[in-house]
Amino acid sequence: VFTAATVAAAPEDPLFGLMKAYREDPSDKKVDLGIGAYRDNNAKPWILPVVKKADDAIHNDPTLNHEYLSIGGLADFTSAAQKLIVGADSPAIREKRICSLQTISGTGAVHLGGLFLSKFHPQKPAIYLSNPTWANHNQIFTNVGLTLAKYPYFSVKTKGLDFTGMIAALEAAPHGSVILLHACAHNPTGVDPTEDQWKQIAELMRSRSHFPFFDTAYQGFASGDLVRDSWAIRYFVEQGFEMCVAQSFAKNFGLYGERTGAFHFVSAPGPDAAAASAHIASQLAILQRSEISNPPAYGARIASRVLNDPELFKEWEADLRTMSGRILEMRQGLRERLEKRGTPGSWDHITSQIGMFSFTGLSEEQVMTLRSKWHVYMTKNGRISMAGLNTNNIDYFAEAVDSVVR
Ligand code: PLP
């Protein structure tokens, strides 16, 4: 029989433990580089000015109320989210072969896609995840009954992409495997394939009939350019792939807690594509209904206002450049400082990696020394959140890294 006493304690979430240790550290020098959210130069959360503007307009809009959204979410939001990720002139939109539902941010979108594949893929396939990947991928896909497989991704030696290893694994994967790909700003490494490498990945995936599942959590936040950060997805659509896309607006709108995201399924071109897409939409709606009934309205209303208003959209692009620009400055600043000190090792990966995170190459032992001796908090795998660096702590951090590396 089931009793409460039969439930063992779950292991502590490593990020949660890190945050707790940081909070409890009384030092005024402490630096939080574990955080997965943008911080301004004063280490404070940043409400995007365009989000504030949209928010004010929503508060003063007498036509809005607190009724349920539809199962698929706010239609103005999902259609704008579609255009943003595949491009407004995409054949997938024109040919009505992309269906989209609003989800509980990116996590909910990954989950909905995983659940859909688990129910409707005839073979219940393994899902191939990059090694390493965003830790939650493992739990989300396991929870919906998919088995996990890995492909090599990060080269410890070059601190860049292990392209040869990745290609070999995708080649060896069973025909028709599902491959999870980070669209840009790979979490946790900050390492992305080049456009040429993406083309080779696509070619190989087509020859093996693999199915891409894109996770896009950093569009516009990585390079500051929304089109550039969606290049890989647009290329795969152009190549006629069928695919899942999980899209988060947490980072690029700073709407973390509002849980704003979308799931898209793109069907392959062909005479029956629009009908297939409608069938898929109807099945996704049933899954959504059983899980959340209908998604939350607030964040989607904000994003929808910005995405559908050309003036606000421009302001958003400027806000994106503010965030990505500050992060790029921190990357350059850190590399310069380490090189100036002559810190042993090469540090060019700090600027060649992109997005919120950098895989520094620091060992677990070095990470632990940084924590105990320098009050610098990062995950054990040596990942730092660039957003945690600012002009007040970057010198101190460079000094700390220099000291543990020597
Ligand atoms: N996917 C990746 C790779 C991420 O890094 C994140 C957030 O850290 C997400 C998805 C989803 O985040 P959220 O559910 O907050 O949108």
What pLDDT is recorded for position 15? 83
pLDDT digit string (tens) for 87-118? Answer: 999 999 999 999 999 999 999 999 999 999 99
pLDDT digit string (tens) for 10-21? Answer: 988 878 889 999
Catalytic residue check, 373: no
Tell me the CA–centroid distance for residue 226 and ligand 1, in Å: 17
**Closest protein CA for atom 13 of ligand 1:** 106
The mean pLDDT of 49-58, rounded to a whole number, is 97
Q: Residue holding tokens 């973390």?
A: 256
Measured from the Cα of 104, ligand 1's closest atom is: 14
Give the contacts of 159 (CB within 8 A, at least 6 positions apart): 191, 349, 353, 359, 361
pLDDT at 371 over 90: yes
The mean pLDDT of 234-244, rounded to a whole number, is 98
**Closest protein CA for atom 9 of ligand 1:** 106
**Closest protein CA for atom 7 of ligand 1:** 217
Give the contacts of 286 (CB within 8 A, at least 6 positions apart): none
Mean pLDDT of the chain: 96
Ligand 1 neighbourhood includes 261 CB (under 6 angstroms): yes
What pLDDT is recorded for position 124? 81
Catalytic residue check, 215: yes
**pTM of the predicted protein model:** 0.97
pLDDT at 123 over 90: no
pLDDT at 238 over 90: yes
The mean pLDDT of 54-70, rounded to a whole number, is 96
Measured from the Cα of 109, ligand 1's closest atom is: 14
| Cα–Cα distance, 309 to 70 (Å, whole number) | 22
